[in-house]
Amino acid sequence: MSVSSGNPSAPSGWAIQRFGQQAGPLAGALPVQLAKAHAKAHATHLTAGLKKRSPYGLTLAQAVRENLADMARELGESVRDVRGYEYAVINEHALFPYRYADRPRALDRARLPSNASPTRRRLFRAHGPQSPERLFELDDDLTTDEYVELHEAFEELGASTKLVCVFFTADVEDGIHVIHWGEAHLEPDRTFTWPHSEQLPVAPVPLE
């Protein structure tokens, strides 16, 4: 796995290769959009006044998706609807945001939950990078037809659209802890192998 530090003023070769002239603006905008999403989710948490089952997590996830979609429109790029969820698509690369922990945690500890939707798994299988070993993987619990469907590209995205992951950790009190973006291959045990990842800086939470 190759890892490098993100720098909005000087985007990496990996970012330029995938996002072209939008690489710099995108690397700078992503941390800001996540900070704004946290601010909205935190405000919702305070309004709810709940000690348990806080709406923070669900609000954060929805706010991040909406913010990234709005960001794509502002950049003159496209937004695609996949099974009721909007995904920002920049230069034929769909952004997949995911909070993988509610506390600071290393990226190699990220794991998709056991109840992850078929849509999420299909996004990784059909639009994510191939297995580093380039082996034919077979999920033992799937029939042949289910396996084929899981690896079929979403028509809404197009077969040429690739997935770029935006993984982060956050909690209601401390906000966004860390942000990574890159390419992740979903393993059968729901962990991830990263052919490439970069860490982006965390933006300050905007004043309410």
- How does pLDDT run across 46-94, given as a tens digit for each residue? 998 887 778 999 999 999 999 999 999 999 999 999 999 999 999 999 9
Q: How far apart are CA 76 and CA 91, in angstroms?
A: 10
Q: What's the confidence (pLDDT) of residue 141?
A: 56
Q: How far apart are CA 1 and CA 106, in angstroms?
A: 14
- How does pLDDT run across 89-117, given as a tens digit for each residue? 999 999 999 999 999 999 999 999 999 99
Report the predicted TM-score, pTM, of the whole model to 2 decimal places.
0.88
Show Cβ contacts of residue 168 under 8 Å, excluding neighbours closer than 6 positions.
34, 97, 98, 99, 100, 176, 177, 178, 179, 180
Q: How far apart are CA 34 and CA 45, in angstroms?
A: 16
Over range 18-36, report the average pLDDT.
Answer: 97
What residue spans define the domains of the chain? Answer: 2-200
Question: Among candidates 168, 27, 36, 32, which has minimal Cα distance to 90?
Answer: 27
Over range 168-180, report the average pLDDT.
Answer: 97
